[in-house]
Amino acid sequence: MITTVLGAIALMLMRKVSPQLFLLLGGARSIGSEDMPALFGIVATLCRRAGIAQVPKLYFLPFGVPTAFATGVGDQSVIVVSSGLLRLLMTVS
């Protein structure tokens, strides 16, 4: 019984703390539309096509492997893009 209650509490806290904690531990930093306007344009277009009303915040992860992921829920949603993926996208375009 105690483990079930503790598990439920952990799940509730994880939803609030997890994205920020993960970004902090990973060394990700927030980027603004003035930093990477093309990337923001792409994300805004994809959100509009998918029917997502609010564009998630974008974060930059200094990591050489090309990767991107999303985390968070609702207004705490973020998309993280690595330096490796940005470098690859710049060479393709």
Looking at the whole model, is its pTM more than 0.75?
no
pLDDT tens digits for range 54-88: 899 999 999 889 999 888 777 888 899 999 998 98
Mean pLDDT in residue range 29-47: 90
Pairing of strands 57-61, 78-82: parallel
Nearest of 48, 58, 65, 52 to residue 80 by alpha carbon: 58
Q: Are 76 and 56 in contact (CB under 8 A)?
A: no
